[in-house]
Amino acid sequence: MSESLHLPILVIGSGPAGLTAAVYAARAGFVPVVIGGYEFGGQLMLTTTVENFTGFPEGVQGPDLMASMRKQAEKVGAKIVDRNVTKVDFSTKPFKVFVENAHYLADAVILATGASAKWLGLESENRFKGKGVSSCAVCDGYFFKGQEVVVVGGGDTAMEDALYLSKIASGVTVIHRRDRLRASDIMQRRALAEPKIRFVWDSAVEEVLGDRKVEGVRVKSLKTGEVSTLKCEGVFVSIGHQPNTELFRDFVDLDKTGYVIARDETRSSREGIFVAGDVTDKVYRQAITAAGSGCKAALDAVRYLESLKDRQ
């Protein structure tokens, strides 16, 4: 038998955006439920030292940061459910969110499901995540100061990462599957003009090499089949992100790449549904910007609920 619970605010997602939204909603006098999923904490759970989140001068481990956020959210009254949302129905109010054998009714919902980095799918890549393999140059580039790094990809994200890393690393090698870049003209010109950036064309990374840390990559030419080894200390996979929005496709407007379209900062196309973090942000994608948008979404949701009372 399905259980049901009617809530004023429900948050879907347990990364910095979702947990910050929960803190602000709880402090406003509402008791939010956060559907955090089995993989609690978002992308920061795959990150080692975080040195660009304000308030931690010595840095903080990604999982530790998320544990602290969770503890704070629970301390102020938020309830966190470590299960996955299986279905939603935002067609009528109250909104329905289905979580395995339970379903929730909510007057306002904050979507904070984030985005997932696209990976190459290599066993060695997965083994070295957080140990030399990263999907975020801004987050982790600092740790490779004066070292050789590889960027995989050929779009704007890859060129942005390569240019950013060229200011930190001793050298950047871009490995791309094609014989020309897919990035915009201006990004191509900037990257090609940077003397610290080298290019390996028509090639794919077959394996990340190393023992306890990254020591290089095995690269295969897609034209000749020749296999070579390239020494490096860091590998940045920059082939894009996929927003986790499939569940919401039929209920809120998405752009052509699947990100929720936000209006007035946090409002989706459906009244009462708010968005925060990487589910709508394809530009910054930082923990601190996600947390800030979670604050905004909660404040907007609270104002929305208060406006409903005024209408009655």
DSSP characters for 36-51? --SSTTGGGGG--EE-
140 in catalytic set: yes
Residue 33, judged by CB atoms within 10 A of its CB (0-12, 13-18, 19+), counts as: buried
* CA 260 to mean position of chain CA atoms: 14
Q: What is the pLDDT of residue 157?
A: 87
Nearest to 149 by CA among 231, 227, 91, 71: 231
Mean pLDDT for 159-180 is 96
Please indicate, yes or no, whether residues 141 and 220 belong to a single structural domain of this protein. yes
Looking at the chain, how many residues does it have? 312
Residue 196: predicted pLDDT: 98
Mean pLDDT of 263-267: 96
> Nearest-CA neighbor of 7 among 70, 87, 81, 84?
81
| Residues 157, 10 share a domain | no
Instruction: Spot the catalytic one: 82, 89, 139, 310.
Output: 139
Vertex 63, ends 112 and 165: CA angle to 5°?
85
What's the CA angle centered on 99, arms 98 and 102, to 5 degrees? 85
- Share of residues in the chain with pLDDT > 90 (%): 84
Whether residue 27 has pLDDT greater than 50: yes
Tell whether 262 and 291 lie within a shared domain: yes
84: tokens are: 């996955």
User: Looking at the structure, do residues 131 and 217 belong to the same domain, yes or no?
Assistant: yes
pLDDT at residue 2, as a whole number? 52
Which is higher by pLDDT, 283 or 15? 15
Q: What is the pLDDT of residue 223?
A: 96
Residue 312 binned pLDDT confidence (cut-offs 50, 70, 90)? low
Q: Are residues 53 and 193 in the same domain?
A: no
Burial 186-215 (b: 16+ CB within 10 A, else e): ebbebbeeeeebebbbebbbebbbbeeebe
Determine if the peptide bond prior to 195 is cis (ω within 30°): no
Percent of all residues in the chain with a pLDDT value above 70, rounded to a whole number: 99
pLDDT at 307 over 90: yes
The pLDDT-based confidence of 47 (bands split at 50, 70, 90) is confident
Same domain, 163 and 299: no
CATH code: domain of residue 167: 3.50.50.60
10 and 102 in a single domain? The answer is: yes
Residue position matching structure tokens 């803190």? 23
Provide the token pair at 231: 């020494």
Annotated active-site residue in 64, 107, 136, 255: 136
Last residue of a domain, one of 186, 208, 237: 237
Residues 188, 288, 73, CA angle at the centre, nearest 5°?
Answer: 150
> Token digits for 198?
């080298």
156 and 179 together in one domain: yes
pLDDT in tens, 227-262: 999 999 999 999 988 999 999 999 999 999 999 999
- Of the residues 211, 237, 263, which one is the last residue of a structural domain? 237
87 is in which domain, residue-wise?
A: 3-116+242-311
In the structure, what pLDDT confidence band is assigned to residue 1 with cuts at 50, 70 and 90? very low
- Top pLDDT among 26 and 46 is at 26
Q: Which residues, 6 or more positions from 93, have their beta carbon under 8 angstroms from its beta carbon? A: 107, 272
The mean pLDDT value for 148-170 works out to 96
Active-site residue, from 64, 89, 107, 140: 140
Average pLDDT taken over every residue of the chain: 94
- The total number of structural domains in the chain stands at 2
**Does residue 125 share a domain with residue 100?**
no
Tokens of 199: 């290019």
Active site residue 255: no
Average pLDDT over residues 288-310: 95
Query: Mind listing the pLDDT tens digit for each residue in 50-75?
Result: 888 999 999 999 899 999 999 999 99
Q: What's the pLDDT score for residue 3?
A: 61
Same-domain status, 125 and 232: yes
Residue among 269, 287, 301 at smallest CA distance from 12: 301
Strands annotated E in the chain: 3-12, 33-35, 49-50, 60-61, 79-81, 87-89, 95-99, 102-111, 115-117, 133-134, 148-152, 171-175, 197-200, 203-210, 214-221, 227-231, 234-237, 241-243, 273-275
What are the φ and ψ backbone dihedral angles of 253, each rounded to 5 degrees? -75, 130
Of 196, 212, 237, which residue constitutes the final position of a domain?
237
What gap in Å lies between CA 277 and CA 184, rounded to an integer? 25
Does residue 207 share a domain with residue 70? no
Residue 310's pLDDT is 75
pLDDT single digits (tens) 83-125: 999 999 999 999 999 998 889 999 999 999 999 889 999 999 9
Best CA proximity match to 254, nearest among 224, 275, 226: 275
Higher-confidence residue: 266 or 46?
Answer: 266
Same domain, 112 and 252: yes
Tokens 């986790």 appear where? 244
- Convert the pLDDT of each residue in 271-281 to its tens digit: 999 999 999 99
Decide if 136 is catalytic: yes
| Pairing label, strands 203-210, 214-221 | antiparallel
Confidence (pTM): 0.81
